[in-house]
Every structure is written in C-alpha cells, then in structure tokens.
Amino acid sequence: MAKKIRRKKKILKSVLKMREKRANKRQLNIDIDKWKSDVKIRDGFTCQLCNKTILDNKSMHVHHIVPNVFNYKNLKSDIQNGILLCPYCHKWAPYSPHMNSILFAEWLKINRTEIYYYLLGKMGATEFNMGKVHEPVIEQLSPGSYDEVVKT
C-alpha cells in the first residue's frame, strides 16, 4: 500500500513538473513574439542591410545579434539585441550574420554604433577592449606604460 502511495506521489510530482515546463515555454514564446514584433516596429519593417521594405510577414527575419546561449541569456528578449533582415541578407549576403559574423559585426559597428556598444557593454566589455580609449588618455601614457595598463 505504501509503495502505491509513493508511486502516485512520484507520478503527480512529474505531471506537475511537466505542466510547469509547458507554462514556462508558453510564456517564453509570448516573450519572443513580443520581442520580434518590437524589433520589426523599431526597424520600420525594413531590412537593415539592404533597406528593402518587407511587406510579407514570412519574409521578415528577426535576428539575435548576440546568440542567446552561454552567459548572454539576459539579452534574449532585449530589443537592442535584435535586427530585422530580409531572408537573403539574413542567410547569404556578404554581410550576413550567418555567412560572415566578423563583417556583420563591423557593419553593425559602423551603421548601428549605439547598438554595437550597448551590446558590448552588456557582455561585460571594458572601455579598453571596446576600442573607446580617448586620444588624450593614450597620449598621457609613457612608452611602455600602455602594456602595464592592459595587463591590469
């Protein structure tokens, strides 16, 4: 009799866990849908690489600039971490984030500077490794002291 009760409790516990996971997944889908919608509106339903207006909802690719893996899950629903692209620019264009992430990062740095530095800041980049060291600071460094600053 005690075994049956323990078994029923175990089954009930697993059912409750499964329901909680489903509820969390539904909430996550709602959050992602809102994020996509916000990015589309912010970018004016226009591909940010080729400036083509995208009228068909299926042809709108909202891309995470920083992948939502590793330590950056906090950026998953951050509107600054999204960019609207047409299918061609998303997957196959020379500046495509999937074909050449380095060129895409350079494009982002030049054309969407505020987003580029915002995301670097969120990822824990410092002013030195973000390339934002001001010229007067560099001039104040004596020969060889730059290496000391970088080491610290």
Letter string b/e over residues 4-19, b meaning 16 or more CB atoms within 10 A of that residue's CB: eeeeeeeeeeeeeeee
Report the sign of the C-alpha dihedral through residues 83, 85, 90, 95, in that order.
negative
For 17-29, what is each residue's pLDDT tens digit?
776 666 555 555 6
The domain total for the chain is: 1
Instruction: Return d(Cα 92, Cα 55) in angstroms, integer.
Output: 20
For the segment 69-83, the average pLDDT, to the nearest whole number, is: 84
Domain boundaries, position 44: 2-134
Phi-psi group of 144: left, alpha or beta (phi > 0 → left; psi -120 to 50 → alpha; rest → beta) = left
Residue 149 lies in a domain: no
Does 126 or 144 have the greater pLDDT score? Answer: 126
Please name the helix (run of DSSP H) or strand (run of DSSP E) that holds residue 83, with its range, or none.
strand 82-85
For 89-127, what is each residue's pLDDT tens digit?
999 888 889 889 899 999 999 999 999 999 988 888 765
Residue 61 lies in a domain: yes
Residue 115 lies in a domain: yes
Residue 84 lies in a domain: yes
Residue 64 lies in a domain: yes
Residue 144 lies in a domain: no
Residue 147 lies in a domain: no
Does 6 or 23 have the greater pLDDT score? Answer: 6
- Maximum alpha-carbon separation in the chain: 82
DSSP string for 91-140: HTSTT-TTT-HHHHHHHHHHHSHHHHHHHHHHTT--TTTTT---HHHHHH
Residue 142 lies in a domain: no
Q: Look up the pTM and report it.
A: 0.64
The average confidence (pLDDT) of the chain is 77
